[in-house]
Amino acid sequence: MNLQPLTRPRRLAAGDRVVVVAPSGPVPKDRLDTGCEILRGWGLDVQVAPHVTDRHDQFEYLAGSDAHRAADLQEAWCDPRVAGIFCARGGYGAQRMIDLLDWDTMAQAEPKVFAGYSDITALHEAFANCLGVATLHAPMVAASSFLTDPGTAEHLRRTLFEPESVQTITGRQAVTISPGAGEPVSGVTLGGCISLLAAELATPTGRPNVTGGILLIEEVGEDTYRIDRYITHMLRTGWLDGVAAVVLGSVEEGDGGPVEELLADRFGHFDIPIVGRFGFGHGAATLTMPLGVAATLDADRAVLTLDAPALV
């Protein structure tokens, strides 16, 4: 069965309350403060969850205990006064706390904006699979791209407040890797960090397949052979059977050859459209990519068009 569009949260408006959480790694206080000021400049009432600046007692790569990180996220999601949740950063740790979330309770809450990328990919998958809610693969509050690149911040702002203005998305350097059958292809967007998508296979919060999906993928800090391993694993499980198209965002080229050639090789037997250099994910600048939204990819033009705005 093909993927279906998910429930879209409402757009933000000046005066809305939003909460910053840290489901994964620890957050430098100065970067957090700067990012929060950008959000406040958009007229938002920005609250920082209680444990965002915590450090784990044993593992310095975690922003406090698993229980506290989970509690911050669940309390913000279930608070009817909150209109949106922004992740402070990625790193590692979302999968450690994801099974501490009460998904049945969270399903009773009104859908709201949820934004982040990198390690937050695990939560994007869980929000889709367990809550049926569309999310935003978007710059994080303490990410350097959000703090230093005006275009990155503006694309997120427009997605949040004026989503009709960004229904057509393309990267400045986007290229066609494979045209597929040569016709635009429609599907539902999903994806995120390649290593996290692979790590979510066969978990309680991961989805069983991506049939009819437009797969948006990106990665950082991985040699090509490792990316090959992740994609080959996903192929061997059958998870990628029926995928409609692939869009590659930012990839930090490692040893072993261009990732674009790898995608052409690994997805070649599907004969689907593949576009590269789309400009989302880990990079000096990043686009906001809605997940769980019906869209059409024109590979020849390297343009993704959302059938409806990311937010209602």
Pairing of strands 273-276, 175-179: antiparallel
Exposed / middle / buried, residue 87 (Cβ in 10 Å: 0-12, 13-18, 19+): buried
Pairing of strands 17-21, 273-276: unpaired
Distance (Å, whole) CA 108 – CA 204: 19
Strands (E), the chain: 17-21, 45-48, 82-87, 113-116, 135-137, 168-169, 175-179, 185-193, 213-219, 245-251, 273-276, 289-291, 294-298, 303-306
Phi-psi region of 298 (alpha: psi -120 to 50; beta: other; left: phi over 0): beta
Q: Which of 218, 219, 222, 260 is catalytic?
A: 218
For the question of residue 282 being annotated catalytic, the response is yes
Distance (Å, whole) CA 185 – CA 111: 28
Report the 10 Å Cβ neighbour count for 202: 9
Q: What angle do CA 106, 110, 113 make, to 5 degrees?
A: 95
For the question of residue 137 being annotated catalytic, the response is no
Those residues with Cβ within 8 angstroms of residue 6's Cβ, 6 or more apart along the chain or in another chain: 128, 132, 133, 134, 188, 291, 292, 293
Q: Which of 118, 178, 195, 250 is catalytic?
A: 118
Distance (Å, whole) CA 275 – CA 22: 31
- 25, 91 Cβ separation under 8 angstroms: yes
For the question of residue 164 being annotated catalytic, the response is no
Q: Which of 56, 137, 155, 282 is catalytic?
A: 282
Distance (Å, whole) CA 258 – CA 253: 7
Catalytic residues, which ones? 118, 218, 282
